[in-house]
Amino acid sequence: MDYTLNMTMMFAVHDALRRELERLARVAARTGDDPRRVLRAAAGWELFKRFLRVHHTTEDDVLWPEMRRLLAGRPDDLALLDAMEEEHAAIDPLLAAVDATVLDRDEGAGRLGDVLDALATTLRHHLRHEEAEGLALIDATLSAEQWAKFGREHRARIGDDARHYLPWLLDEASDETVAKVLAGLPAEIREAYRDVWRPAYTAIPLYPSPAAASGASPDAAA
């Protein structure tokens, strides 16, 4: 679909979230490592949760309220926004369930795969739904300035964590996506990404084996 608004960052975030779901599935399928121990020390899991929550809370606090204001009196469109918010609300308990299962030393090992699968199924459904219907509604409703306001608030909430966020976002992204994302950023951010942030990020063991887990915090990139 062709959009009037620039959806580059939205699709980049969605692709990054799908990438992490695939990595989590591989962790759960490992043999020889207890995946609970892996996730307890996994910088990748912490980054995934952090940036997923920023993305969804910014939509809930900024994007959907503005859409509701503009779509007042259009029940079908408002029902879609209700669905978006309900899908967000279903994801946070699943993140908490993964964390609880990781800490459950008695029964967690047998449950972790199922809990991660529930998270992946729910989040993938939401991403597909938003891409199939939500983005078209955004594109038809918001002006370029209103869309840019959402982007500015999203960046503000990332704040100093941009040094982790940008290389996380672009990890395994296509050359085309990397070029499009970087093209919209100031030169000093592009330089920091290339010379400092990405090299530091690539040095982080995102999902290390328990024996190599020490020092795996995202703050290792500071």
Three-state SS for 31-48 is CCCCHHHHHHCCHHHHHH
**pLDDT of 67 above 50:** yes
- pLDDT score recorded for residue 102: 92
Average model confidence (pLDDT) across the chain: 93
Q: Is the pLDDT of residue 148 over 70?
A: yes
143 band by pLDDT with thresholds 50, 70 and 90: very high
pLDDT at 122 over 80: yes
| 208 domain residue, yes or no | no
Top-confidence residue, 61 or 221? 61
In a domain, 218, yes or no: no
CB 190 within 8 A of CB 18: no
For residue 85, what are the domain limits? 8-160
Q: How confident is the model at residue 110 (pLDDT cuts 50, 70, 90)?
A: confident
105 falls in which pLDDT band (50, 70, 90)? confident
- Sign (positive/negative) of CA torsion 144, 150, 151, 153? positive
Residue 209: what pLDDT? Answer: 78
- 3-class SS of residue 58: helix
Residue 116 lies in a domain: yes
Query: Which carries the bigger pLDDT value, residue 108 or residue 150?
Result: 150
- The answer to whether residue 192 is domain-embedded is no
185 located within any domain: no
pLDDT at 14: 98
On whether residue 180 sits in a domain, the answer given is: no
What is the reported pLDDT for 210?
Answer: 66
Least confident segment among 19-33, 46-60, 103-117, 135-149: 103-117
Terminal CA-CA length for the chain:
39
| Residue 174 belongs to some domain of the structure | no
pLDDT of residue 10: 98
**Average pLDDT rounded to a whole number, residues 47-76:** 98
| Dist. CA 58–CA 151, nearest whole Å | 9
Residue 175 inside a domain? The answer is: no
Total domains in the chain come to 1
